[in-house]
Amino acid sequence: MKREIWVGAESPGSDMKRAAAKKLIERYFYQLTDGCGNPQCDNQHCASSGKVTNLTPNQAAAQAIQLFSQEARLCDGTQPNKVARTTIEPGPASLAKSLPVKSVNPTCSVEGKPVPYLTEPKLLDIIQQCKSEESYSLLIRTLGEVFSSAEALSRSFQKSAENDSPLAALLDRAPVDLLGPPRDLSKEAVRSLQGEDKEEDSSDPSPTVPHPDDTSVDLPAVRRAFTALWSLPGEAFESALVHALVTLADNIELDLRVFGIVPSDSTDSLLNVFLIVFEIPVLGSSEYLELALHMLCKAASCLPLTAQAKLARVWARHSKPRLQALLQALQQLITVKVIGGSFTRDYCVQDADTITAPTKVMKILYYASMLAGELDGPELRRDEEGDAGELEKTSTQRTSTQALQDPLAVELKICSLDARKPFVPFNDFYNEPLSDAIEMDKDFAYYKSEQPKKFSFMNYAFILTPATKTLGLYYDNRIRMYSERRMSFLQTVVGQPTNPYLRLKVRRDHLIDDALVELEMVAMENPTDLKKQLVVEFEGEQGVDEGGVSKEFFQLVVEEIFNPDYGMFTLQDDTQTTWFNPTSFESDAQFTLIGVVLGLAIYNNVILDVRFPMVVYRKLLGRKGAFADLEDWSPTLYRSLKELLDYTGEDMADTFMQTFRVGYKDVFGYELFHELREDGDQIYVMQSNKREFVDLYADFLLNRSVERQFKAFRRGFQMVTDESPLALLFRPEEVEQLVCGSKNFDFAELEAATEYEGGYTVDSEAVRNFWRVAHALPPESQRRLLQFTTGSDRVPVGGLSRLKMVIARHGPDSDRLPIAHTCFNVLLLPDYGTIEKLQDRLLKAINYSKGFGML
């Protein structure tokens, strides 16, 4: 038989085969030391046969290697125990004890005494013994000792335990020839021996090299152990475990608060503790929720930033199946504490550590979910320095932008924009009871406070619903408006009068020209005036703008300027979304002013009828477009490119006939061409370069072809929003809701939220008739009714339940049409005598109301 060298760089499978051999030798080792468990065994190399004399661990290790080389008989069922038996004291009372070790946490153990710890076999042995004795005292005592001590728990369920034995040390130092002639192991046998307990990282090309996000805790063993533990009656041990966890959390929190930053080795030990306890499958129920989970969250929230970052990375790498269940437990804890709490203006939810502590832990989980999902690479991040230069940001603005970055995100070098598809959906992190209970005016004050630093949920925006976050943005915008108004007043006092508002006077028949000219003058002379409250006046029309006129102004601007006939934007055929015209003749200033209009709409809390693809909002927040964005931008093109990527044949050039030269059409329909690479028309797409082609094509369509137009557009948008917490609070899909409103158009929600004045009640005949007519209208007419009453046909973030409409009685039955005060969402409705008359007058009002009938 040809001998194969197992160790050495010249053998590509040497590491795998050597690992498989080590597994087999371990089986011989434990057969010599522990036996197979069969009292009738006749194998002379098995301890169960009585034919093996007492061997020291070193002797057993050497003999195991010799038996392997001789291909000696191996009893069925002999498996390595993964725990060095030489470290276990004899006797049943020592099942949860080990040899003395150096203390990790001085408050958790007494120096010189044995430190208890658990492994999966130990726990299973204890459970089996308790069952046979019908007494759980040993289990209760062991769980109490181990789970109340950070040092004991940090040493439990360790992967490295198997490497502490003399056998492992001998095998690691063994030269090639010491292993003897190689056994003829099949591929299946090698895989089963080398990876029988590996649930994770089987695809790691170099498993022998420690990964920086690895952990010494054997998490699969922890899960199996907990599964076995909870197969017992809960009352047998759970009370003791809960009290142990409370003691554990108390001690850890005390140590972290008193000693502050801990050494790295102690930090790793504490991470082991939290990795184990957060695997407990029932943290979201009964006593655990009320006592243990809250205390554990308080302790975990005190971890140093680097430790929190490592915990997120380890969870993302090793605990994916656990993330959803742990999130549900934290959500349940927060919900229970919010509903059961008695909060006032003096004691609000931000002051309750039973709510803030699990929120802090949820942030670690939030980033772990992103790391465990699909992430965009750093190459898709925009060059913010270059953008800052173009925008001519002041140093104060740059400092403000940096302050908005979350410290944990900075430590992990990611943010929510990097997450293309998180492991746990973003929406699962919303907590509606908490969002409804938060008084956002107070939370915003805490967010702006510096000393002492208060807890603000605006720094944990992932847990808030978009509707609640919109309130936070609203307060920020209003305060800036009042600040500008106050400065204008002070300048007037000292003899330099300025307008406290951003006033636009426009003509209906020259709306775009007038608006863009005035906004351009403001942007050039004093861009800070864009932070003032917008007041619009239509020339030749009466009316004071309390919000309603501005809504109409924005709607008219959007209808005209985003019309493809205007030439600045195009309409995507298959999605009916608006995109930048790459061959537009308009100047950069025109696109900058469009960005200003979009920013002003957000700043003034106005919802627009704009249909951008999602990639626009990702680009506004600082990310470049990529291939994945084509699915929303042009589904047809995306499917075609996906087919090209999925094609595995070697005849790709003949099949697709695609080169690195692509075509597109200008505004007049003429076809233009662009080479993605130099001499691209001579380079065919092959298996070796198909990914490069797809990425370059997507980059051209979404970034390079509209680079001039979009940079100008984004510059204008940031002139208004640069200092606001927009990027801190909202993800791209939430910014879309902020701009376009909710897609949930439900008139039943509007009816439930409507109030009545002037003698009307919910039971008034005219009111009942109104809602009968409203619910029977087709969707397009319902949107006209919403526009007539509120000035906008868009649904606010959070749905129509967030829109407080008022229906007021406007005199007795008459032939007058209904009137709306759009600034205040008030509908003045005469007390019509019949439903037919109400329907006729209402339809006339909503169909012919543009420019009049709305005040």
Q: Tokens for 276?
A: 């184990």
Hey, is 675 helix, strand or coil? strand
Catalytic option among 75, 108, 297, 823: 823
Report d(CA 399, CA 401) in Å as an integer: 5
Compute φ and ψ for 5, nearest 5 degrees. -80, 125
Q: Report which secondary-structure segment, H or E, holds 397.
A: helix 395-403
Which of 271, 261, 373, 360 is closest to 323 using CA atoms? 373
Which of 310, 301, 294 is closest to 253 using CA atoms? 301
- Contacts (Cβ under 8 Å, ≥6 apart) of 217: 157, 158, 159, 272, 275, 276
Report d(CA 633, CA 645) in Å as an integer: 18
Which of 374, 386, 384 is closest to 414 using CA atoms? 374
Hey, is 1 helix, strand or coil? coil
Which of 146, 153, 222, 144 is closest to 136 using CA atoms? 144
Compute φ and ψ for 736, nearest 5 degrees. -60, -45
Integer CA distances (angstroms), 851 to 202, 436, 476, 557, in order? 68, 37, 32, 14
Q: Judge whether 167 and 89 are in contact, CB under 8 Å.
A: no
Q: Report which secondary-structure segment, H or E, holds 368.
A: helix 353-372
Which of 281, 366, 216, 442 is closest to 731 using CA atoms? 366
Report d(CA 11, CA 27) in Å as an integer: 25
Measured at the CA of 319, the angle between CA 316 and CA 325, to 5 degrees, comes to 110
Compute φ and ψ for 756, nearest 5 degrees. -130, 140
Measured at the CA of 225, the angle between CA 221 and CA 227, to 5 degrees, comes to 120
Report d(CA 739, CA 728) in Å as an integer: 16
Return contacts of 822-825, CB within 8 angstroms, 24+ apart.
822/547, 822/548, 822/549, 822/551, 822/552, 822/788, 822/789, 822/790, 822/791, 822/854, 822/855, 823/545, 823/546, 823/547, 823/548, 823/549, 823/791, 823/855, 824/546, 824/547, 824/548, 825/789, 825/790
Does the annotation mark 348 as catalytic? no
Q: Report which secondary-structure segment, H or E, holds 738.
A: helix 732-740
- Contacts (Cβ under 8 Å, ≥6 apart) of 410: none
- DSSP states along 483-498: HHHHHHHHHHHTT---
Bridge partners of 742, per DSSP, are 795
Compute φ and ψ for 596, nearest 5 degrees. -60, -45
Q: Judge whether 794 and 611 are in contact, CB under 8 Å.
A: no
Measured at the CA of 798, the angle between CA 792 and CA 801, to 5 degrees, comes to 75
Catalytic (active-site) positions: 823
